[in-house]
């Protein structure tokens, strides 16, 4: 025994087992204490409540939902809404961020000033404050009954933005958006992965066209399956009485979340892209010019791809962080995952179970997103001093 204790490896292992053992005991004690307290208050524990009807509705859902549906379904509604909000916001934040990053290193004084001002304003204001600002602006737009003279395909009102759209279910649109993200990831992989570096350019272009053609076919099929029966394919909004009819309505709550997250995230992504562009050595651009490429061609085909590959790990971290920011929806009344869980806690009293579902849901979503993007990063990442040679 004494000989074993004198061995450092044995002592380290004993300390680790002791730590894990204490941790397990604490968790078990916490579970029994919580259970006894719940029983003392006449509250039941477990996940049986998921099969009960909620008795309350939601203002926005990508799938059909009524007050007679279960807690399990309303949680699924919240998850889909958060994924819907996150997918739109992350794409827009990326577009804004790339544009701001390019402006910051363009060499044009006016563009650099605009980019710097944008970053300094929106990066330093709290996201919650920006969500309140955009929500206040959107809800103070003219009311539909005051827009009798308005014309055009799109109407901006205090009840939301009305625009032409297809008579299809929101869930089918969500699946089309997911397919678009998958097609973009495959296209980026084909374009940048080392395993395709020696592939003929003509064949690579053919594969890229095949990817986008496949996405187009899948999108058409999904939209056709999701078409709402007994309606025209295209729905055009029109004013009737005190409100607009038909068309697609984007609620002020959803639009405020999209705008605030996109603008806020765009400021951070802009700085990441700027850092990536500055990290590309001048020799890379000089080599492009020596090959006869124009300034724009050198930027598009050499500098920007290298910058994106260099900052991909930082972008992945930013995307995970931005998706978690979709929880601001509860502040302006958008039915996201966090708001559904909060309402369910108030209505059912199953606090610990619902918080566990919330944590598990975000863990699975963010881990899955990071896993996919990390696979893309492993395929396109730079090695050694590729940025400098």
> Does residue 32 surpass a pLDDT of 60?
yes
DSSP class of 158: T
Q: Confidence class of residue 167 from pLDDT cuts 50, 70 and 90?
A: confident
Whole-number Å distance between alpha carbons of 8 and 14: 10
Contacts of 263 (CB under 8 A, 6+ apart): 93, 96, 122, 130
Strands of the sheet containing 160-163, edge to edge, are 155-157, 160-163, 248-250
Predicted confidence (pLDDT) per residue in 263-300, tens digit: 999 999 999 999 999 888 888 878 888 888 888 888 88
- Judge whether 92 and 84 are in contact, CB under 8 Å: no
User: Across the chain, which distance is largest between two alpha carbons, in Å?
Assistant: 93
Q: What's the confidence (pLDDT) of residue 188?
A: 76
Q: Confidence class of residue 388 from pLDDT cuts 50, 70 and 90?
A: low
| Buried/exposed code over 83-100 (b: 16+ C-beta within 10 A; e: otherwise) | bbbbbbbbebbbebbbbb
Tokens of 210: 């095949």
Whole-number Å distance between alpha carbons of 178 and 72: 23
Rounded to an integer, the average pLDDT of 111-131 is 94
Rounded to an integer, the average pLDDT of 161-189 is 82
Q: What's the confidence (pLDDT) of residue 186?
A: 83
Q: Is 143 helix (H, G, I), strand (E, B) or coil?
A: coil
Q: What's the confidence (pLDDT) of residue 190?
A: 78
Q: What's the confidence (pLDDT) of residue 280?
A: 85
Q: What's the confidence (pLDDT) of residue 389?
A: 54
Q: How many CA atoms lie within 13 A of 123 on its CB side?
A: 15
The larger pLDDT score, comparing residue 114 to residue 381, is at 114
Rounded to an integer, the average pLDDT of 101-111 is 91
Q: What's the confidence (pLDDT) of residue 77?
A: 92
The larger pLDDT score, comparing residue 208 to residue 194, is at 208
Q: Is 63 helix (H, G, I), strand (E, B) or coil?
A: coil
> Does residue 130 surpass a pLDDT of 90?
yes
| Predicted TM-score (pTM) above 0.75 | yes
Q: Is 156 helix (H, G, I), strand (E, B) or coil?
A: strand
Q: Where are the beta strands (DSSP E) in the chain?
A: 155-157, 160-163, 165-166, 234-235, 238-240, 243-245, 248-250
Percent of the chain with pLDDT over 70: 95
The larger pLDDT score, comparing residue 382 to residue 350, is at 350
CATH numeric code, 71-151+252-380: 1.10.3720.10
Predicted confidence (pLDDT) per residue in 141-164, tens digit: 888 777 767 777 788 888 888 888
Tokens of 255: 């639009």
């Amino acid at each position: 025994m004494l000989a074993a204790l004198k061995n450092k490896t044995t002592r380290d292992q004993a300390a680790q087992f002791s730590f894990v053992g204490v941790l397990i005991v604490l968790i078990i004690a916490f579970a029994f204490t919580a259970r006894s307290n719940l029983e003392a208050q006449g509250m039941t524990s477990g996940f049986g409540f998921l099969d009960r009807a909620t008795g309350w509705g939601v203002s926005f859902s990508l799938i059909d939902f009524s007050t007679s549906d279960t807690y399990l379904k309303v949680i699924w509604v919240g998850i889909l809404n958060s994924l819907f909000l996150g997918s739109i916001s992350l794409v827009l934040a990326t577009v804004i961020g790339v544009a701001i990053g390019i402006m910051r290193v363009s060499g044009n004084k006016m563009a650099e000033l605009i980019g710097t001002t944008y970053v300094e304003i929106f990066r330093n204001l709290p996201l919650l404050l920006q969500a309140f600002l955009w929500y206040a602006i959107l809800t103070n737009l003219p009311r539909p009954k005051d827009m009798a003279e308005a014309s055009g395909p799109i109407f901006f009102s205090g009840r939301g933005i009305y625009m032409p759209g297809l008579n299809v279910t929101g869930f089918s649109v969500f699946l089309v958006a997911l397919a678009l993200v998958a097609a973009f990831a495959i296209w980026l992989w084909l374009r940048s992965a080392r395993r395709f570096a020696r592939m003929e350019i003509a064949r690579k272009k053919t594969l890229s066209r095949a990817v986008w053609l496949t996405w187009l076919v899948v999108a058409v099929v999904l939209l056709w399956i999701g078409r709402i029966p007994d309606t025209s394919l295209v729905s055009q909004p029109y004013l009737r009485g005190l409100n607009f009819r038909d068309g697609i309505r984007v609620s002020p709550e959803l639009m405020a979340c999209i705008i605030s997250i996109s603008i806020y995230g765009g400021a951070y992504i802009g700085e990441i892209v700027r850092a990536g562009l500055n990290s590309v050595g001048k020799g890379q651009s000089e080599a492009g010019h020596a090959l006869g490429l124009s300034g724009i061609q050198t930027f598009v085909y050499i500098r920007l791809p290298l910058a994106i590959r260099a900052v991909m790990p930082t972008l992945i971290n930013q995307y995970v962080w931005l998706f978690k920011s979709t929880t601001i929806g509860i502040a302006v009344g958008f039915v996201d995952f966090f708001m559904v869980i909060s309402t369910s806690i108030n209505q059912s009293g199953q606090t610990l179970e619902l918080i566990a579902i919330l944590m598990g849901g975000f863990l699975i979503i963010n881990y899955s997103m990071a896993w996919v993007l990390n696979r893309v990063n492993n395929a396109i990442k730079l090695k050694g001093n590729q940025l400098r040679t």
